[in-house]
Amino acid sequence: MKSLLTNARTIVVKVGSSLVTNDGRGLDQAAIAAWADQIARLRHGERRVVLVSSGAVAEGMQRLGWAKRPTAINELQAAAAVGQMGLVQMYESCFSRHKLHTAQVLLTHDDLADRKRYLNARSTLRTLLDLNVIPIINENDTVVTDEIRFGDNDTLASLVANLIEADALVILTDQQGLYSADPRKDPKATLIQHATAGDPALEQMAGGAGSLVGTGGMLTKILAARRAARSGAHTVIASGREPDVLVRLTNGELIGSHLRAPEMKTTARKQWLADHLQVRGTLTLDSGAAKALTLDGKSLLPIGVTAVMGEFERGELVACLDLHGHQIARGLANYSAIEAARILKKSSGEIAQILGYVAEPELIHRDNLVLL
């Protein structure tokens, strides 16, 4: 069986902190130069590449002489500000040898949560690719707050894959791929070469964070693959230390773990809804409403809601839970939390009498709702 990257034309590549900074010892110029060389070869083959790179905080720690990753947000922001300078300079230098321009793109959750800014970011990235520029993307750690963080660049890379509707996401790590158990603890662990993105069994195999300088573990990579699959992007998790890994993958060689996206894609707008990381509240649904959403493709009416939690305004994202507490959908609420609490278990015909007005007969319209 061939690599999932064989026919991929637009690829998002994510490299982790331990790879970029040689396990925290400072920027690894040889490794970065090797990735630049490989990406240049892919560009000559008419493939378009977006690079999501960790390493700013780790490089900043090295420059500042910090041995341990800080936990205070202001110290993380300071380290990111210092490290970002060296990181971008290194990429620019390595790609310039191949006569390729790079562009620094720093994103926060707010950039992707706001629909207008989301579309602007997509337009910018697509334009850069059309201009044969290599976008270098990182989270804007210098301004982001803890409440609106992506949390790790695996998540960011999957969101970027959805944003530009990439064909594939490659997550380069310091492991060979996804194993049936932690290979550092279990000698019987075997490499998972093929699987379907979103398979719940994969999440059970994944462990916690495995690096002293990074924030992601294998679980974040599994979840990133599931998210990227919504737009039809396949995911490959492979070792960034494997020689010419990107070129060999696109040539069809089977390296690492290949997680295939299901055939059915989610529409661009519903991808955006699903990719919201900040849910403002929850609505608990009775069994009839849960069935109407998941099986019948219906909108959510107030009569099917049994409980409202959180503080949200009209137009903000809320999660829909079944009676067992499982999240089955997300959508944009037509009423605030206070209003929703007043009309829950009521028919749509009673809304005007209770609230004094009717915004919509539905609590969430099916056009503004995505199943999970």
**Residue 237 and residue 254 in one domain:** yes
Select from 270, 297, 323 the last residue of a domain. 270
Determine the average pLDDT of the residues in 59-81.
87
Tokens found for residue 320:
């829909």
CATH number of the domain enclosing 312: 2.30.130.10
Select from 221, 251, 270 the last residue of a domain. 270
**Residue 73 and residue 55 in one domain:** yes
**Residue 74 and residue 223 in one domain:** yes
What are the C-alpha distances in Å from 205 to residues 45, 235, 288? Answer: 36, 17, 34
**Residue 104 and residue 138 in one domain:** yes
Q: For 27-41, what is each residue's pLDDT tens digit?
A: 899 999 999 999 999
Q: Above 50 in pLDDT, residue 147?
A: no
Q: For 220-242, what is each residue's pLDDT tens digit?
A: 899 899 889 888 899 999 999 99
For 205, the domain range is 10-270
Select from 270, 295, 328 the last residue of a domain. 270
Q: Are 188 and 31 in contact (CB under 8 A)?
A: no
Q: Above 90 in pLDDT, residue 370?
A: no
**Residue 235 and residue 340 in one domain:** no
Tokens found for residue 85:
């300078």
What pLDDT is attached to residue 148?
Answer: 37
Confidence of residue 141 (pLDDT cuts 50, 70, 90): low
Tokens found for residue 20:
């970029």
Q: How far apart are CA 26 and CA 196, in angstroms?
A: 36
